[in-house]
Structure 1
Amino acid sequence: MAMNHIRSLRSIIITKEAVGLVGRRTFSAGGGKAKKGSKGGGASDAPKASTLSKEVKSTTVVGANVLKDGADPKVLPDSEYPDWLLHLLDKRPALSELRRKNIETLPYEDLKRFVKLDNRARIKENNSLKAKN
């Protein structure tokens, strides 16, 4: 009688293992390469040619429209924009250049940048030392 119970338990265990194998996720044997003409929306190797003319590209900010019924904004002359906007593109000094200068004579903005970059450099150095130990 005990032998019959063991056999029934074995069949239950084997069935559970089979269900576990069927339920596992498997990958295709294709190696991940998409078939020609298949749906997938993947990017192709060749860049797509732009359909906009050069005149439209130079007079409008293409892709800046966020409204459903709106149009792309036109590029205005520099005099129409605020002064601070054009200074965003100015090069700011690097930490090594700021270290060479006298800290007491630095303008406020450069001093603020120096403190920020110096703190960042010290944190990175401390982290790399801790990582080595």
Structure 2
Amino acid sequence: MAFTLMKSLRGIVSSELIRAVGARTFAASGGKAKKGSKGGAATAPKASTLSKEVKSTTVFGANILKDEQDPKILPDSEYPDWLWHLLDKRPALSELRRKDLETLPYEDLKLFVKLDNRARIKENNSIKAKN
């Protein structure tokens, strides 16, 4: 309703007034202010109540289910080997093109095909866009 009213008044009232009427404000704390405090004062964060032992053995915030516990941190030997290589740098397409394709390892060859196809599709799309 307010939107239709603003729309109908658009020609009559200046745009600055419409922006002021249409602006929303929200309470900072969501409740009544404490006695003696000013409205926008920030409160200090509370100290964590968890022990250091619990912090070092549990992944907090990783649980997505309501009735389950947060998962425990396992030793490195319990995780699969591929996990430790996820953040390794992979070679770029230009670097792979300079190498001999016959001697590339299988993973690098897969990456080359993927990046080459992607580059070819982008080139074809740009040619079609020009026409």
TM-score range, shorter chain: 0.5 to 0.7
Match of 1:103 among 71, 79, 101: 101
The 3-state SS of whatever aligns with 1:123 is helix
Aligned equivalents of 1:32 and 1:94: distance in 2?
A: 50
Closer, same or farther: CA 129–26 of 1 in aligned 2, 3 Å: farther
Q: Is the helix fraction higher in 1 or 2?
A: 1
Matches within 5 A, 1:1-133: 25-27=4-6, 29=18, 30=20, 32-37=22-27, 52=48, 55=52, 58-133=56-131
Structure 1 alignment gaps of length 5 or more: 1-21, 41-45
Counterpart of 1:103, as a letter, is: L
Which residue identity is paired with 1:86? W
What is the CA-CA distance between 1:32 and the residue it aligns to?
4.9
Opposite residue 105 of structure 2, the aligned amino acid is: P
- What letter is aligned with 1:126? N
Deviation of 1:51 after TM superposition, in Å, equals: 6.2
Query: How much has 1:105 moved relative to structure 2?
Result: 0.7
Tell me the matched-pair count: 105
Deviation at 1:77, TM superposition (A): 2.1
Q: Percent of counterpart pairs with the same letter?
A: 69
Unmatched tracts of structure 2, length 5 or more: 8-17, 31-41
**Structure with the greater alpha carbon radius of gyration:** 1
Q: Secondary structure at the match of 1:63?
A: coil
Aligned-residue offset at 1:73: 0.9
Q: 1:98 to 1:36 in 2, by over 3 A?
A: same
Deviations 1:34-55 (A, max 9, x none): 22428x9xxxxx9xx5865694
1:104 positional shift:
1.0
Q: TM-score, normalised by structure 1?
A: 0.60
Question: If the length of structure 2 is used for normalisation, what is the TM-score?
Answer: 0.61
RMSD: 3.5
Question: Using the alignment, how far apart are the partners of 1:78 and 1:50 within structure 2?
Answer: 32
